[in-house]
Amino acid sequence: MKNIFNFLYSTRLMAVLFILFATAMGVATFIENDFGTQTSKALVYNTWWFETIMVFFVINFFGNIFRYRLHKKEKWPVLMFHLAFLFIIIGAGVTRYVGYEGLMLINEGETTNQFLSETTYVNVIVDNSKEQKKIHQPILLSAWGNNTWSFTDNFREKEYNVDLVEYIPWAEKN
46-90, pLDDT tens digit by residue? 999 999 999 999 999 999 999 999 999 999 999 999 999 999 999
Helical spans, DSSP H, in the chain: 2-8, 11-35, 37-40, 48-67, 76-98
124 within 8 A of 92, measured Cβ to Cβ: no
Provide the pLDDT for residue 146. Answer: 83
133 within 8 A of 157, measured Cβ to Cβ: no
pLDDT digits (tens, 9 = 90+) for 20-53: 999 999 999 999 999 988 899 999 999 999 999 9
- Residues facing 136 on adjacent strands: 123
CA R_g for the chain: 22
Confidence class of residue 100 from pLDDT cuts 50, 70 and 90? confident
Please determine, for residue 2, whether its predicted confidence score (pLDDT) is greater than 90. Answer: no
Q: What is the arithmetic mean of pLDDT over 89-116?
A: 92
Q: Phi then psi for 8, rounded to 5 degrees?
A: -65, -30
Would you tell me how many other CB atoms lie within 10 Å of the CB of residue 64? 20
pLDDT digits (tens, 9 = 90+) for 117-154: 888 889 989 988 888 889 889 898 888 888 888 989 98
56 vs 170: which has the higher pLDDT: 56
Task: Give me the count of residues in the chain.
Answer: 174
Would you tell me how many other CB atoms lie within 10 Å of the CB of residue 143? 19
Provide the pLDDT for residue 21. Answer: 97
Would you tell me how many other CB atoms lie within 10 Å of the CB of residue 20? 16
Provide the pLDDT for residue 104. Answer: 93
133 within 8 A of 126, measured Cβ to Cβ: yes
Provide the pLDDT for residue 156. Answer: 85
140 within 8 A of 40, measured Cβ to Cβ: no
